[in-house]
Amino acid sequence: MTEEKAANDAVVATERPRPHVAVVRIDRPASRNALDMNVRRQLAEAFRGLGADDEVRAVVVTGTGKAFAAGADLRDMAEASAVEIMARRTHLLWGAIADCPKPVIAAVNGFALGGGCELAMHADIIVAGESARFGQPEIKVGIMPGAGGTQRLIRAVGKFKAMKLLLTGAIITAREADAMGLVSEVVADDQVLARALALAEEIAALPPLAAQAIKEAALASEDMPLSAGLALERRAFQLLFATADQKEGMRAFLEKRTPKFEGR
């Protein structure tokens, strides 16, 4: 296989298994879904497209085979210079995932290490299989996390748990990750995708504008004082009263019927 052909191979697939639900799947099982530049570009393209698609209300991200994503593809960077790494501007590719306005659920089986763990932490909900393993082992190969690992991990689990993982490169089980607050729930390995899809379907049945407003307010407030976060929440709450879904939801509740939300 030529380098040009490899660069053009589609290794990130987008599926629509249920109404208003999309699945983004990394399909490199032979390399445990390692994240080379080709994968990162395709992930960014997929998330940009889904973020702008009004038919999509929730996104599930997962990997093919026995790994979610085993980390960066070291063959893709081992001999690179600092200038070459800088020129890749990978933060723009990760930003496409972080900026996705739709709720994102990571369905994690097997390894989620390094960039794979960072990818999972870009999600809003993480469903992990019993055999899932998480970690930021970059220190073991002479570097450090570069896609938000030092920032998102410490926000998720606190300073002392995060620093232990970051400074030792330790790999933890799904149950350990659950106990420290790194994942939302742990299920049997053969139920991971089904559970993630069920959550996505549940969210997709709810008013999408409200879901997006909740995600925006919750994530933006991480970098704000409490007073500013409360002001943002209050304004978003007030603006939702301009939506047809708010009227439909409250009328349906009062009329004791199932609401039909249209994202208006």
Q: Give strand pairing partners of 26.
A: 12, 63
Q: Are 133 and 113 in contact (CB under 8 A)?
A: yes
**d(Cα 192, Cα 205) in Å, to the nearest integer?**
20
Q: Are 177 and 134 in contact (CB under 8 A)?
A: yes
Q: Are 248 and 242 in contact (CB under 8 A)?
A: no
Coil vs helix vs strand at 111: strand
**d(Cα 170, Cα 136) in Å, to the nearest integer?**
7
Q: Catalytic amino acids? A: 72, 115, 118, 138
**d(Cα 19, Cα 261) in Å, to the nearest integer?**
13
Coil vs helix vs strand at 153: helix
Query: Given phi > 0 = left and psi -120 to 50 = alpha, else beta, which region is 178?
Result: alpha
**d(Cα 2, Cα 246) in Å, to the nearest integer?**
54
**d(Cα 65, Cα 116) in Å, to the nearest integer?**
14
